[in-house]
């Protein structure tokens, strides 16, 4: 089962939420979009290195405490892609991150440095929504594969 704050994706991560202000209260009442609709089956297949005849399906989960977080999980064998949408900024611990300006000013690709935890994820902010997409592997080349996946998401994302 996936737990809030991207625990399954960011094992050992630390959630940091900014204090609520009157402006944030209005944003918090809105629900983030369905993360399963932020990417195509074809882009997920490409990330997993599958042929065009295989199509994986995402499973949606929604958590409402302390705020709404939506997760979409796609599995193939032991590999798991998790995409999260949330309206509040999060900070994750024990990772090394690389700025990716093509994903906007908040765009990053991060790789876990925690021993025994394999994780690479990309995160961006667009249309008032934070989107994090990760795979349970430490991908080579500073996470180039998840970056390509997130770049397609970013270009077509509508919050």
pLDDT at 10: 37
List the one residue out of 40, 33, 46 whose CA is nearest residue 84: 33
What's the Cα-to-Cα distance from 117 to each of 66, 95, 129, rounded to whole Å?
Answer: 26, 10, 27
Provide Rg for the chain, Cα atoms.
15
pTM score, whole prediction: 0.77
Q: Which pLDDT band, with edges at 50, 70 and 90, does 84 fall under?
A: very high
Across 3-7, 48-52, 54-58, 60-64, least confident range: 3-7
Whether the bond into 66 is cis, omega within 30 of 0: yes
pLDDT at 152: 94
55 or 19, higher pLDDT: 55
| Beta strands in the chain, from DSSP E residues, in sequence order | 59-63, 69-76, 79-86, 95-99, 108-112, 120-126, 129-135
pLDDT at 8: 35
């Amino acid at each position: 089962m996936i737990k809030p704050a991207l625990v399954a994706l960011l094992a050992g991560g630390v959630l940091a939420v900014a204090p609520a202000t009157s402006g944030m209260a209005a944003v918090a009442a809105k629900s983030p979009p369905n993360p399963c609709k932020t990417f195509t089956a074809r882009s997920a297949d490409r990330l997993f290195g599958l042929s065009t005849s295989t199509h994986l399906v995402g499973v949606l989960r929604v958590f409402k405490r302390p705020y709404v977080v939506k997760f979409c999980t796609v599995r193939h064998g032991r590999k798991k892609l998790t995409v999260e949408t949330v309206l509040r900024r999060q900070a994750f611990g024990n990772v090394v991150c690389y700025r990716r300006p093509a994903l906007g000013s908040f765009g990053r690709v991060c790789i876990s440095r925690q021993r025994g935890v394999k994780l690479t994820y990309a995160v961006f902010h667009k249309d008032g929504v934070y989107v994090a997409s990760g795979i349970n592997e430490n991908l080579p080349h500073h996470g180039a594969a998840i970056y390509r996946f997130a770049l397609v998401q970013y270009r077509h994302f509508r919050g």
